[in-house]
Structure 1
Amino acid sequence: MIAKENITGIIIAGGKSTRMGRDKGFLELNGKLFMTHIIEALQPLVSEIIICSDHTDYDTFGLRRIKDTIKDAGPLAGLYSGLAASNTDYNLVLSCDIPLITSKVLKKLIEKEDHESDIVMFEQGGKTMPLVALYKKACSKKLKAILDSGERRLQRALEAFNVKSIKIKEQQKALSNINTKTQLNAIKSC
């Protein structure tokens, strides 16, 4: 398994949150902010956590925050910026809207890493989850070229990489993206 010293945690928190109506990283679940849940899941597995966001509110977490180097290019730009800023060969990349994520689930990505794959990500219900994944830092160069070509769709960009998808059967709830008030209310009532 990859040593903690060679893994950085990258949290993508630069979205506009149009469906939720407010910044998802600062939503609360069980008395803690979404970001706190995600940070706590990453900490046992990584040497550093980087927050990718142009929003200075995220400085409150006391972690290194980096701005998107390419503006208005969505999560693809956040992913590239995070990987470019990382000091390790491997990177656990998470979006800020998965508050139920656990270290145990993230460890599965690390355990499934192989030398051939550029990216190891979960697949759930036939959909891949590129913002709950393990990326090699080397992906940053190709991502920059993809962004420079004008592409902004993350799923389309992934076609340029060797991706290993892991189907997860147990703990599927841990991978829930919370994008709407209805989804937030549903996890609060569980």
Structure 2
Amino acid sequence: MKVPAPAADSGVLPVTGVVLAGGASRRMGRDKAFLELAGRPLIAHVLDRMAEVCAEVLVVANDLPRYAGLGVRVVPDVFPGVGVLGGLHAGLQAAHHDLILAVGCDMPFLNPALLRAFGAWAEGYDVVALRRGEQVETLHAAYRRACLPAMETAIRAGERRIISFFPHVRVRYVAPEEAEVLDPGLRSFRNVNTPQEWEALRAEIRNRIGRG
């Protein structure tokens, strides 16, 4: 049965927004966080959206000086070299709130109403993530501090897959049709991984500005 989305009330939630910035992307060939979009770094747009929803916002990045000018706290990985799972662990451990909303630095179409819904859906759960068939969207997801022991166990066992610790925590999977009530087309989950995707995104935004 389809569960209605929570009301998309405006306001800041008592959660920490965690933006993962992994540095140079192999497919992009450079640091996606500092690609210029509408005259500002891509990550600045992401931080703006997160600040609309989250009482605290921080960035996980290992090149601390490079990210120091963003106006938010920057924390490094506790377990370097284990990918996004390590970044989530670092953000959750550093957060001042029990619940985090975690996104990538390359997600410029975040929807504040949907972020708030993920916060509401987390009541009674340790993880909230969108699932499309067999694919689980592990960024643009919610995680509680209760996940830390299971995350650490997975990392120490050599796991890099984020979903590897899910069997050990309470997971609430969001169906696409639930999320689309607030974010038609699920644009919040769109990111950029290649130069071609980046140029397509920039062209789309230029066209929108032109129509405006």
- Using the size of structure 1 for normalisation, the TM-score is 0.90
CA offsets per residue over residues 81-118 of structure 1, 9 Å max, x none? 11011111111111111111121221221232221x21
Equivalence map 1:23-34=2 (5 Å): 23-34=31-42
Q: Distance in 2 between matches of 1:176 and 1:123?
A: 14
Equivalent residue number for residue 144 of structure 1:
152
* SS of residue in 2 equivalent to 1:138: helix
Equivalent residue number for residue 83 of structure 1:
92
Q: Distance in 2 between matches of 1:25 and 1:131?
A: 15
* SS of residue in 2 equivalent to 1:189: helix
CA offsets per residue over residues 17-60 of structure 1, 9 Å max, x none? 10100111111222232111111111121121111110121111
Q: Distance in 2 between matches of 1:188 and 1:161?
A: 39
Equivalent residue number for residue 70 of structure 1:
79
Letter in 2 for 1:177: N
Q: Distance in 2 between matches of 1:51 and 1:72?
A: 17
Letter in 1 for 2:77: D
Q: Distance in 2 between matches of 1:158 and 1:13?
A: 23
**Equivalent pair of 1:105/1:171 in contact (CA under 8 Å):** no
Letter in 2 for 1:136: R
Q: Distance in 2 between matches of 1:139 and 1:69?
A: 15
| Deviation (angstroms), 1:8 | 0.6
| Deviation (angstroms), 1:189 | 1.8
| Deviation (angstroms), 1:123 | 3.2
Equivalent residue number for residue 181 of structure 1:
195
Extract structure 1 runs of 4+ deviating beyond 6 A.
none
Equivalent residue number for residue 209 of structure 2:
none
Equivalence map 1:4-83=2 (5 Å): 4=12, 6-55=14-63, 56-83=65-92
In structure 1, stretches of 5+ residues that fail to align are none
Q: Distance in 1 between matches of 2:27 and 2:166?
A: 25
In structure 2, stretches of 5+ residues that fail to align are 1-5, 205-212
| Deviation (angstroms), 1:186 | 1.4
| Deviation (angstroms), 1:133 | 0.7
**Equivalent pair of 1:68/1:81 in contact (CA under 8 Å):** yes
CA offsets per residue over residues 123-161 of structure 1, 9 Å max, x none? 357522111111111211221121111111223333433
Letter in 1 for 2:140: V
* SS of residue in 1 equivalent to 2:130: strand
**Equivalent pair of 1:29/1:99 in contact (CA under 8 Å):** no
Which among 83, 97, 101 is matched to residue 92 of structure 1?
A: 101
Question: What RMSD in Å do the two structures reach over aligned CA positions?
Answer: 1.9
The structure-2 alpha-carbon separation of the partners of 1:15 and 1:156, relative to structure 1 and needing over 3 Å to count, comes to farther
State how many pairs are aligned.
188
Letter in 1 for 2:55: S
Identical-pair percentage: 28
* SS of residue in 2 equivalent to 1:49: strand
Equivalent residue number for residue 208 of structure 2:
none
